[in-house]
Amino acid sequence: MATIVVGYTDTSEGEAALARAMAEAKLRGARLEVVHSHKEGRGIEAEDVLHYNEVMADIDHRLDEAGIEHATHDYIQGQSPAEDIVACARITGAELIIIGLRNRTKTGKYLMGSVAQDVLLSAPCSVLAVRTEDTPG
């Protein structure tokens, strides 16, 4: 069975990536690996951990209802989100990674880095970048 990894955040971009991943998983008969990563595991508030526990449980429920074989991963292991997404793809032998894109200024990208760029440059497989309808083209 093919595997698709989706990078997820609780944002419109994350929801767009998840929706596309669900559609691709159904189309391909693939297993879905949903990855959320707390940025480098630093300074995580208990409320954030509890929030993502609920979010990931909701995603589990949605994927169960859709009949999609899946696993969810909420990483707090000191790596960047891009490293966690790419590692999951390598471990599972994924054929596709799906990520959401958000619009950022050049300065914002320079100062904060870009998860999307890091995934694109490090991925062991094809990457599908998804924009939301409200993301300027």
Across the chain, mean pLDDT equals 88
Pairwise CA distance, residues 28 & 11, whole Å: 25
pLDDT tens digits, 5-60: 999 999 999 999 999 999 999 999 999 999 998 875 566 777 888 888 899 999 99
pLDDT at 115: 86
pLDDT at 134: 64
Q: How far is CA 115 from the centre of its chain?
A: 10
For 98-113, what is the mean pLDDT? Answer: 66
Instruction: Give the three-class secondary structure for 117.
Output: helix
Percent of the chain with pLDDT over 90: 64
pLDDT tens digits, 59-70: 999 999 999 999
Looking at domain 3-131, its CATH architecture is 3-Layer(aba) Sandwich (3.40)
Measured on CA atoms in the order 129, 45, 109, 94, is the torsion positive or negative? negative
Token readout for 137 is 């083209």
Pairwise CA distance, residues 131 & 112, whole Å: 19
Per-domain boundaries in the chain = 3-131
Pairwise CA distance, residues 59 & 133, whole Å: 21
Instruction: Please choose, from the candidates 111, 115, 114, 53, the residue with its C-alpha nearest in 3D space to the C-alpha of residue 81.
Output: 115
